[in-house]
Amino acid sequence: MNTFGHRFRFTTFGESHGKALGCIVDGVPAGLKIDEEFIQSEMDRRKPGSNEFATARKEGDKVEILSGVFEGLSTGTPISMIIFNENQKSSDYSNIKDIFRPGHADFTYFHKYGLRDYRGGGRSSARETAARVAAGAVAKLLLKELNIKVQSGICEINGIEANSFDFENALNSPIFALDKSVEEKQKSAILEAKNSHNSVGGVALINVKNAPIGLGEPLYFKLDSQIANAMMSINAVKAAVKAVEIGDGILASKVLGYDNNDQIRKAGFKTNHSGGILGGISNGDDINVKVYFKATPSIFIEQDSIDIYGNEVTAKLKGRHDPCVAVRGSVVCESMMALVLADMVLLNMSSKMQNLKKVYAK
């Protein structure tokens, strides 16, 4: 199942060491200005190999638009985009050809499909998320026209928490840190793990400004359930406690009703414990979502595993890996949020007769 969304939907294809990755974005209204430089700038934020906090795999991640755009505008037909892989080193994986990497998807993919693309994990690799970012950039262009802003940053690395959330700082930080005062500590935690051949987890915060009231399609396509679905579909987002927290998240189950409710005044809600969503529908307040990433599974410490024949072996990994996937993962979360909202914005247009009359009534 490689398609996401209803009205604004996208499908991705490709794997880590294949020739290319890409996506087809369907349902984009005709006449949207497709700013290719913006799409590329989004790709550049996620691309690997740009600093010591990311994997050393160097990819240009240049996006080529194959269809659906004419003279800079969307035509209303599927927009397809391709990203060629340039820096695969499949030999890095030859010594673990038959061995399952603990924590990775090797074991489950092998048992489900009965064969193994050992080259970087194949389709289970987060290399696929490059295509999501390309699709997400188109969603962001649509949302921009409606003045809806999606932004993200890192709020926690290895338990070191941000005390303030500055999205401008995140844009200029090599680890997308939201709080400058803890950024150096967070960077050191990543480098310490990397230097000891290990990895660390982290948490991304995604914030949406100016979401209109009414986004979300109860009951089975609620805004919060789709955000959770979108975020949980990203590699390494874990359900150990609750991987995706909307608003106060798990804290909501620990406090009393009076402390959890967002009281209402004419000017708006007095607080935002709900994270901008009530009954599965956006309430007009900021949408705030925290996404929890586990530590990168591929580490360079010897670990116990088994091979595809069931023999007990020692897994010794080589190759290039992110020491903390939350960093680049935060950009993927932002893209998935934009994709969910673009879908919801289009779906919501048919929620009332008065909307239909605006378009069709003579």
Ligand X SMILES: Cc1cc2nc3c(=O)[nH]c(=O)nc-3n(C[C@H](O)[C@H](O)[C@H](O)COP(=O)(O)O)c2cc1C
Stretch that binds ligand X, among 88-96, 289-297, 303-311, 342-350 (CB under 6 A): 289-297
Residue 324 sits in the site that holds ligand X (CB under 6 A): no
Residue 125 sits in the site that holds ligand X (CB under 6 A): yes
Residue 295 sits in the site that holds ligand X (CB under 6 A): no
Binding footprint of ligand X, residue count (CB under 6 A):
21
In total, the chain counts a number of residues equal to: 362
User: What is the separation, in whole angstroms, between the first and last Cα of the chain?
Assistant: 42
- Determine phi and psi for 37, rounding to 5 degrees: -65, -40
Stretch that binds ligand X, among 68-76, 122-130, 131-139, 159-167 (CB under 6 A): 122-130
Site string for ligand X, 35-74 (x = CB under 6 A): --------------------x-------------------
| Residue 27: burial class (beta carbons within 10 Å; 0-12, 13-18, 19+) | middle
Cis peptide, bond prior to residue 219, ω within 30 of zero: yes
Residues 263-282 that bind ligand X (CB under 6 A): none
Report CA torsion sign: 180, 156, 103, 86. Answer: negative
- Minimum CB–partner distance for residue 332 and ligand X (Å): 5
- Could you give the CA distance from residue 253 to residue 260 in angstroms, rounded to a whole number? 9
- Could you give the CA distance from residue 46 to residue 325 in angstroms, rounded to a whole number? 11
Cβ proximity to ligand X: between 85 and 235 the closer is: 235
In the list 59, 183, 322, 334, the residue contacting ligand X (rule: CB under 6 A) is: 322
In the numeric block, which tokens belong to residue 246?
């909307």
Residue 234 sits in the site that holds ligand X (CB under 6 A): yes
In the complex, which residues of this chain contact ligand X (CB under 6 A)?
Answer: 55, 104-105, 121, 124-126, 129, 234-236, 294, 296-298, 321-322, 325, 328-329, 332
